[in-house]
A and B are shown apart, each in its own frame.
Chain A
Amino acid sequence: MNVIEVSELTKKFGSFTAVDHISFDVKEGEIFGFLGANGAGKTTAIQMLCGISNPTSGKGTVAGYDIFKENEQIKHNIGYMSQKFSLYEDLKVWENIRLFAGIYGMNDKEIKENTRRLLKQLDFESERDTMVASLPLGWKQKLAFSIAIFHTPKIVFLDEPTGGVDPAARRQFWEMILDAAYKGITVFVTTHYMDEAEYCDRVSIMVDGRIDALDTPHNLKQQSQAQNMDEVFRKLARKAKRIN
């Protein structure tokens, strides 16, 4: 089953084509790496997939809902976190969980039980009443990810979730991603760390608004005759003509 299906998806801003006829599918439980240089069109594409920006043309579904007509249903069935915004700093750990779970329509009983379970699982019970602002970044990101999948969405979008995070925490974060995918949550992730691209089942690379490559890391390396994903990325992104 495909959780994302898009065909010829396009977004224009005036005469500028930010996303240029992209087509791809993402399977259930897959970790899908969405790579590209700054300005290649990743953010615009993600905004369309999350139902917060209307495509100029093309068609597609996310979590089974039409991206043109069913934006609200899409929002209910996805999770989202980014490096730039994830949690409210001036709320406590449990308050953040409560807030997001409430927004996603979970009832009090579910929230209570699942909060207890989550804090235990993260070994976070002692931090229940801590202000999020005073948590180390690595912990914040782990908590943010847990909250993004708290309402068990079909798919979670992660926009540069590990930027600036220390090396150990970055790896722990990926262990959580692998775990979530194993439990059947589809993961759609962008990153500038090319070692992380290796952990994805499949990777797409955007260049100038188009998807120039899409395959498993293994096949991409073979096709580009590259040692690692960093080399694959450089070879492809160098073709870009857009100035950024």
Chain B
Amino acid sequence: MGKSVLTSPAIMIDVRDLHKSYGHTVALAGVSCSVNDAEIFGIIGPDGAGKTSLFRILASLLLPESGSALMNGVDVVKDYEKIRRMIGYMPGKFSLYQDLTVEENLYLFATVFNTTIEENYHLVKDIYQQIEPFKTRRAGRLSGGMKQKLALCCALIHKPEVLLLDEPTTGVDPVSRKEFWDMLRQLKKQGISILVSTAYMDEASLCDRIALIQKGRFLGIDTPQGIISSYRRSLWSLHAGNVRGLLKSIRSYPHVRSCFAFGESHHVAVEEGFSERDFQQYLSSKGYGQIHLEPISPTVEDFFLDMTIDN
């Protein structure tokens, strides 16, 4: 019987059990996920976790050893020519023509895809206007922020169904990062599905759903809120200033599973049997004063730390 179209969102990207190795180095150890139509799906993980291999496979630039990936039902290996028309790909490394101007790069990308800048200008307008004052400047001479905006325009100019953005915000300052995510939300409204990777854990909350990746495996796939609510431990914030030796003292307390600095406080993840009073007493006996301890809800970064600490 037909499924209701209204209740289940259409799947745009369907990744099943992808494996990829380079010699002895395993880049992807079997990853599966599906990205819905007009969804912002984040792949969150550090350098070397396998993010770029996944993007290159989806962009039909790298062959997986096994597993499959479909985009709107089209196979990325068998039908790679179709795939290349469907996607807009922004690699992690700036890959436009450095010796062409801003304008020439955009024109080139439009022409290669058999379209014109005019036809799809509505898609890039908001972003392109920010770099238009420099349209006669060579791409190689743009600042980092402008390069990023031009690359996004070039990835969009043929009206792709899917945007693949590999670490678009690496090395970008917090203010420009926020602007970039605002642009992505606008594109989502236009119906474009966006797969985006990042090493910044705080960007997880800006995605509809996320997959956390480490060592070629997904540690969890869910909404950012869902990931946070699956955190199994109780978490405390401890405030005591930068007292030397404090971290070590906290870590050597029996019921403490982990303790990490989070800005001006420490996040302490504790095991069953932990008593706030005993812990306070322990710290006082070690000579630490003015301890402020309170229970807190975890962030995606706390979850990631908890999942990876045993490695």
Task: Give a binary string over B116-150; 1 marks a CB under 8 Å from any A CB, 0 the rest.
Answer: 00000000000000100110000000011110000
B145/A39 in contact, CB under 8 A: yes
B173/A36 in contact, CB under 8 A: yes
Question: Which residues 220-240 of A have a CB within 8 angstroms of B?
Answer: 228-230, 233-234, 237-238, 240
Instruction: Given A198-B263, A229-B263, A233-B175, decide whether A167 and B201 contact each other with a Cβ distance below 8 A.
Output: yes
Total A-B residue contacts, Cβ distance less than 8 Å: 103
| B contacts, CB < 8 Å to A | 25, 45-49, 130, 133-134, 143-146, 167, 170-178, 199-201, 214, 242, 244, 247, 260-264, 301, 304-305, 308-309
Instruction: Given A38-B143, A168-B309, A217-B264, decide whether A233 and B174 contact each other with a Cβ distance below 8 A.
Output: yes
Does A136 sit within 8 A of B, measured CB to CB? yes
B48/A137 in contact, CB under 8 A: yes
B263/A238 in contact, CB under 8 A: no
Task: Tell me the nearest residue of chain A to B167, going by C-beta.
Answer: A164
A163 partner residues in chain B, CB cutoff 8 A: 170-171, 199
Q: Which of B172, B261, B304 contacts A174 (CB 8 A)?
A: B261
**Distance of A195 Cα from B305 Cα, bound (Å):** 15
Task: Tell me the nearest residue of chain B to A195, going by C-beta.
Answer: B263
| A contacts, CB < 8 Å to B | 36-39, 83, 134, 136-138, 160, 163-169, 171, 174-175, 178, 182, 192-195, 198-199, 217, 228-230, 233-234, 237-238, 240, 243-244
What are 27 A-B pairs with beta-carbon distances under 8 A? Answer: A37-B173, A37-B175, A37-B176, A38-B145, A83-B171, A160-B171, A163-B170, A166-B199, A166-B214, A166-B308, A167-B46, A169-B46, A171-B260, A171-B261, A174-B261, A178-B244, A192-B174, A192-B177, A195-B262, A198-B264, A217-B264, A237-B173, A237-B175, A243-B130, A243-B143, A243-B146, A244-B144
B176/A244 in contact, CB under 8 A: yes
**Distance of A38 Cα from B173 Cα, bound (Å):** 6
Instruction: Given A175-B247, A195-B262, decide whether A168 and B308 contact each other with a Cβ distance below 8 A.
Output: yes
A234 partner residues in chain B, CB cutoff 8 A: 174-175, 178
- The distance from the CB of B49 to the nearest CB of chain A, in whole angstroms, is 8
A167/B264 in contact, CB under 8 A: no
A39/B143 in contact, CB under 8 A: yes
Task: Tell me the nearest residue of chain B to A197, going by C-beta.
Answer: B263
